[in-house]
């Protein structure tokens, strides 16, 4: 019941919107009929004229016929003419789209029940469109079913967009359920990417909207600049028409109705695609080729080509993309993305913005009169493709510039922080400290530490690996090497120093060395039974040895230092 009531209310509101647009068109039409023709003629002529403009604003082409006298008054050859006008007054077109979007937005706050609003609104607008199409039937260039269907779709699509936008912003349950279903379907391709799909989609939508807004803002500035530069030509064309007050007001309203067309043309001109005003004409930043034009004052703002400097116009679009990409690239979500998604998000956003430009270019092109004016406007796909390419390049540059971590570059390149000489001096003075992984006994740890100059021989000794399965064999080899060295040193000592007062015999030295080596071997054997982690922690412990790194020498060499001290 609530859904049915919502649909009925939406249908009534859609009919009111159609009537509102019709009245906006009818007011100047009735004034023209009253002040110019003094209410002479059939009212039905005024009715189907207003209805024809309403249908043209909803993208339905109209057909017109001119008598030889009427053609001569328009500056054409005195002959009967039949031609089609399909260039829509986009101000009225966008007015309908705005009102439809607002209607869908309001009904979107009702949650799942509000889904009936776009359907009901489309039905109500179809009824109103059928009535207007019946009034405009003498001038319609399309079949009746198309005259009803196209306005209905135009209203229904924008109403549905407004409803979805409100549901997304409010986080309705049906929207969250839809997102979860899409994620489950995407899990078959990439389970990890499915979790981040909503955030990446939202980031792409934000970047696309920002890029499109930047491009349209650039086009608005270009249009204002063209009007300012061509102000003299605009005034000259207006004065050449020699219009009275009512005609001046009507011409102003007509130019206001087609002002969005000039805005879209400005955007396509900046992208380099340009536009045409008649068959065989071209208006681009590089060259301007025109033929005879209607005496419409707004056409005096058409810019001249810049020649070789025309590349500056597409460069502005690229710079706009760089600005948008730089602002978006500073966000944490986009900076932390993998490199593949950091490329895909700006590219897809630029593609969406290019599709929007393509749609606007299609709306701003068509037939505007007889003869050469049958082809007016930009080429939609060329304009959209160039806009997507230029925005995409700019966005990629902006995003990747913000992804560069300058602090990491500074740390990786010390020359950027200090002079090259200072860096070299620090490198030369720095002495690498290599940890010695030896398990020391209490006797060797208590031995006297040698001086720095006497460590030359020890520094050249190979440093063993971390304790492992072969630690016993390595320790035995080191003990045997120490014992051999002690015997050689004892043979070179004088006899008085070996066996005398206060001296030590070689046999005692050998015995002491053997005891020390055996103690160390037994200690290391005990350590080897421990796990690797415990052995490493024991080796690096500060409790069983001196805290000076230079005195942390291998314990198997303690006896040779005693002999050296006694010899000295």
For 426-457, the pLDDT digits (tens) are: 545 544 444 433 334 444 444 444 444 444 44
Mean pLDDT value across residues 266-288: 92
- Cβ atoms of 103 and 158 within 8 Å: the answer is no
Dihedrals phi, psi of 366, to nearest 5 degrees: 155, -160
> Mean pLDDT, to the nearest integer, of 30-41?
74
Q: Minimum mean pLDDT among 116-120, 191-195, 441-445: which range?
A: 441-445
Q: Give the least confident one: 49-53, 124-128, 183-187, 257-261.
A: 183-187
Give 172-178's long-range contacts (Cβ < 8 A, gap of 24+): 172/108, 172/111, 172/112, 173/111, 173/112, 174/111, 174/112, 174/115
Which of 3-7, 24-28, 119-123, 497-501 is the least confident region? 497-501
Residue 391 near residue 350 (C-beta atoms within 8 A): yes
What average pLDDT score do residues 147-171 get? 91
Q: How confident is the model at residue 460 (pLDDT cuts 50, 70, 90)?
A: very low
Q: Beta-carbon neighbour count of residue 157 at 10 Å?
A: 16
C-alpha 15/C-alpha 7 separation (Å) is 12
Asked whether the beta carbons of 237 and 295 are under 8 A apart, the reply is yes
Max CA separation in the chain (angstroms): 149
Q: What integer pLDDT is reported at residue 107 of this predicted model? A: 87
Position 127 pLDDT exceeds 50? yes
CA gap 183, 200 in Å, rounded: 12
Rounded to 5°, angle at Cα 300 from 299 and 305: 95
pLDDT at 458: 41
Average pLDDT over the chain reads 76
Q: Which residues pair with 283 in a beta bridge?
A: 275, 288
Q: How confident is the model at residue 248 (pLDDT cuts 50, 70, 90)?
A: confident
Helices 2-35 and 245-257, packing angle to 10 deg: 150
Percent with pLDDT over 70 in the chain: 68
Are 25 and 92 in contact by the 8 Å Cβ rule? The answer is yes
**pLDDT (mean) for 79-84:** 81
Please work out, in degrees rounded to the nearest 5, the angle formed at the alpha carbon of residue 229 by the alpha carbons of 224 and 234.
90
Per the CB < 8 A criterion, the answer to whether 200 and 337 are in contact is yes
Q: Calculate the alpha carbon distances from 91 to 42, 364, 461 in Å.
A: 28, 11, 88
Residue 546 confidence class, pLDDT cut points 50, 70, 90: very low
Coil, strand, or helix at residue 519? helix
Residue 3 has pLDDT above 70, yes or no: yes
Among the ranges given (164-168, 250-254, 399-403, 429-433), the one the predictor scored with the smallest mean pLDDT: 429-433
34 Cα distance to chain centroid: 55
Q: Identify which has the larger pLDDT, 255 or 461.
A: 255
Q: Does residue 123 carry a pLDDT above 90?
A: yes
Estimate to the nearest angstrom the gap between the alpha carbon of 278 and the chain centroid.
Answer: 38
Is the pLDDT at 21 greater than 50, yes or no? yes
**What number of other Cβ atoms are within 10 A of residue 537's Cβ?**
11
Q: Quote the radius of gyration of the chain (alpha carbons, Å).
A: 44
pLDDT band at 401 (very low <50, low <70, confident <90, very high): confident
Q: Cα 509 to the chain's mean position, in Å?
A: 79
Specify the DSSP element, H or E, that contains 349.
Answer: helix 339-363
Q: How far is CA 273 from the centre of its chain?
A: 24
pLDDT band at 331 (very low <50, low <70, confident <90, very high): confident
pLDDT over threshold 70, residue 467: no
Banded pLDDT at 44 (limits 50, 70, 90):
confident
Closest CA to 286 of 358, 393, 386: 386
Choose the weakest-confidence range: 203-207, 275-279, 503-507, 545-549: 545-549
Q: Do the Cβ atoms of 60 and 96 come closer than 8 Å?
A: no
Contact 143, 54 (CB under 8 A): no
pLDDT tens digits, residue range 483-497? 666 566 555 555 444
State residue 486's pLDDT score: 55
Q: Which residues contact 568 (CB under 8 A, 6 or more apart)?
A: none
| Phi, psi (deg, nearest 5) at residue 467 | -55, 135
Length of the chain: 568
Region 334-351: what's the mean pLDDT?
Answer: 85
pLDDT attached to residue 74: 61
Nearest to 102 by CA among 86, 117, 123: 117
User: Residue 57: its pLDDT value, please?
Assistant: 94
Cβ burial 13-48 (10 Å sphere, 16+ → b, else e): bbbebbeebbebbbebbeebbeeeeeeeeeeeebeb
Question: Is residue 70 scored above 60 in pLDDT?
Answer: yes
pLDDT at residue 425 is higher than 60: no
CB atoms within 10 A of CB 505: 12
Model pLDDT, residue 453: 45
Structure confidence at residue 242 as a pLDDT band (50, 70, 90): confident
Contact 133, 144 (CB under 8 A): yes
């Amino acid at each position: 019941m609530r859904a049915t009531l919502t649909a009925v209310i939406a249908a009534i509101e859609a009919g009111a919107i159609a009537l509102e647009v019709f009245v906006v068109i009818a007011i100047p039409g009735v004034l023209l009929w009253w002040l110019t023709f003094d209410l002479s003629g059939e009212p039905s002529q005024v009715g189907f004229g207003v209805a024809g403009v309403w249908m043209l604003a909803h993208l339905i082409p109209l057909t017109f016929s001119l008598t030889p006298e009427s053609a001569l008054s328009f500056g054409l050859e005195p002959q009967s003419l039949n031609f089609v006008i399909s260039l829509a007054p986009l101000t009225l077109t966008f007015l309908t789209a705005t009102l439809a979007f607002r209607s869908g937005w309001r009904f979107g706050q009702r949650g799942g029940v509000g889904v009936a609003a776009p359907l009901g609104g489309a039905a109500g607008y179809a009824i109103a469109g059928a009535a207007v199409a019946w009034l405009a039937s003498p001038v319609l260039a399309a079949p009746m079913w198309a005259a009803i269907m196209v306005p209905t779709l135009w209203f229904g699509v924008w109403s549905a967009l407004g409803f979805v936008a409100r549901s997304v912003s409010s986080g309705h349950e049906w929207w969250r359920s839809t997102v979860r279903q899409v994620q489950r379907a995407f899990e078959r391709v990439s389970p990890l990417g499915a979790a981040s799909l909503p955030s990446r989609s939202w980031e792409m939508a934000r970047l696309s909207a920002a890029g499109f807004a930047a491009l349209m803002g650039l086009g608005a500035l270009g249009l204002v600049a063209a009007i300012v530069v061509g102000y003299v030509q605009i005034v000259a064309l207006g004065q050449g028409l020699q219009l009275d007050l009512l005609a001046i007001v009507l011409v102003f309203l007509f130019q206001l109705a087609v002002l969005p067309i000039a805005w879209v043309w400005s955007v396509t001109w900046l992208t380099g695609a340009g536009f045409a005003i008649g068959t065989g004409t071209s208006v681009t930043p590089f060259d301007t080729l025109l033929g005879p034009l209607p005496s419409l004052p707004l056409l005096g703002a058409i810019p001249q080509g810049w020649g070789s400097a025309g590349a500056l116009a597409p460069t502005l679009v690229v710079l706009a993309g760089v600005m948008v990409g730089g602002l978006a690239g500073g966000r944490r979500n986009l900076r932390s993305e993998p490199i593949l998604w950091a490329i895909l998000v700006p590219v897809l956003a630029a593609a969406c913005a290019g599709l929007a430009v393509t749609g606007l270019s299609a709306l701003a092109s068509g037939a505007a009169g007889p003869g050469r004016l049958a082809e007016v406007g930009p080429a939609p796909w060329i304009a959209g493709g160039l806009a997507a390419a230029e925005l995409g390049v700019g966005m990629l540059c902006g995003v990747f510039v913000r992804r560069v971590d300058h602090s990491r570059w500074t740390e990786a390149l010390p020359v950027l922080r200090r002079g090259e000489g200072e860096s070299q001096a620090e490198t030369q003075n720095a002495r690498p400290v290599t940890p010695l992984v030896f398990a020391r006994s209490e006797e060797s740890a208590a031995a006297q530490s040698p001086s720095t100059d006497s460590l030359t021989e020890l520094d050249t000794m190979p440093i063993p690996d971390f304790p492992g399965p072969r630690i016993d064999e390595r320790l035995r080899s080191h003990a045997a090497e120490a014992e051999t060295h002690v015997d050689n040193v004892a043979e070179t000592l004088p006899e008085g120093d070996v066996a005398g007062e206060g001296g030590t015999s070689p046999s005692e030295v050998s015995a002491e060395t053997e005891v020390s080596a055996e103690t160390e071997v037994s200690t290391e054997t005990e350590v080897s039974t421990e796990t690797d982690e415990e052995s490493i922690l024991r080796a690096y412990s500060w409790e069983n040895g001196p805290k000076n790194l230079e005195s942390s020498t291998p314990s198997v060499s303690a006896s040779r230092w005693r002999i050296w001290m006694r010899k000295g």
